[in-house]
């Protein structure tokens, strides 16, 4: 069985987007190098440095399912049913869209625990990745996340949408990070301490 992990790009002061949902400079590292990393979506190619390319491939090539919140899913129009990671998407929502059949590779479920269960079923022996900050926080609170991955970029937003909220059960300890220094990002992988 694979791991359940998260991956978000975050400003140095802890934000994953501006107040208007615009990620602004956060994704500059996806074009800060000359090593192409092809995604499952032929229209999306990331040109990163060699260290970031290795890390990005490690995080994406073993993904068998991705979990998203409904807000992110709606903002991206379901990635056209072809998320760049290439895996089926499980969306946490109380109300699936009326035209859910538009996204045959997407499953809509009510609740984070149900989403992780469904994503693990879909992924089989591969990893499950979570790509929505609220869903990540809930998975952490439920003890369902194995690893927190953050690409930390050198920008201060001062305000916006925070990556992490207040843990439901007090401090949550993580193991020492694996650190990869890239162009325009430092990539951190923290196993969750059990």
- Residue 38 covered by a domain: no
Q: What is the pLDDT of residue 94?
A: 95
Instruction: Give tens-digit pLDDT for 97-147.
Output: 999 999 999 999 999 999 999 999 999 999 999 999 999 999 999 999 999
Residue 100: domain span:
4-28+63-172+179-186
* pLDDT for 1 beyond 90: no
Helix%, strand%, coil% for the chain, nearest 5:
30, 30, 40
Whether residue 36 is contained in a domain is answered as no
| Number of folded domains that form the chain | 1
Q: Determine the pLDDT at residue 75.
A: 93
Query: What is the model's pLDDT at position 40?
Result: 85
Give 95-106 pLDDT, tens digit per residue. 999 999 999 999
Contacts 24+ apart (CB under 8 A), 109-112: 112/67, 112/138, 112/139, 112/142, 112/144
Residue 11 counted as domain residue: yes
DSSP 12-73: TTSEEE-TTS--GGGGGGGGSSSEEEE-SSTT-EEEE-HHHHHHHHHHHHTEEEEEEEHHHH
Asked if residue 58 is part of any domain, the answer here is no
- Quote the pTM value: 0.94
Could you tell me if residue 138 is inside a domain? yes
Q: What is the pLDDT of residue 194?
A: 85
Q: What CATH code is carried by the domain that includes residue 149?
A: 3.40.430.10
Mean pLDDT of 2-15: 97
**Does residue 109 sit within a domain?**
yes
pLDDT band at 41 (very low <50, low <70, confident <90, very high): confident
Residue 142 lies in a domain: yes
Residue 135 inside a domain? The answer is yes
pLDDT range class, residue 88, cuts 50, 70, 90: very high
């Amino acid at each position: 069985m694979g791991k359940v992990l998260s991956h978000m790009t975050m400003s140095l002061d802890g934000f994953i987007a501006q107040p208007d949902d615009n990620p602004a400079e956060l994704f500059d590292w996806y074009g800060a190098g000359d090593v192409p990393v092809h995604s499952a979506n032929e229209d999306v190619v990331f040109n990163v440095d060699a260290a970031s390319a290795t890390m990005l491939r490690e995080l994406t090539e073993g993904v068998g399912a991705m979990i998203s919140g409904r807000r992110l899913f709606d903002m991206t129009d379901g990635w056209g049913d072809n998320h760049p990671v290439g895996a089926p998407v499980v969306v946490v929502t109380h109300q699936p869209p009326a035209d859910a059949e538009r996204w045959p590779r997407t499953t809509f479920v009510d609740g984070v625990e149900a989403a992780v269960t469904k994503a693990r079923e879909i992924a089989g022996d591969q990893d499950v990745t979570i790509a929505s900050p609220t869903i990540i926080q809930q998975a952490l609170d439920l003890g369902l996340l194995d690893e927190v991955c953050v690409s930390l970029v050198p920008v201060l937003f001062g305000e916006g949408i925070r990556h992490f909220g207040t843990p439901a059960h007090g401090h949550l300890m993580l193991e020492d990070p694996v650190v990869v220094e890239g162009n325009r990002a430092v990539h951190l992988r923290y196993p969750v301490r059990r």
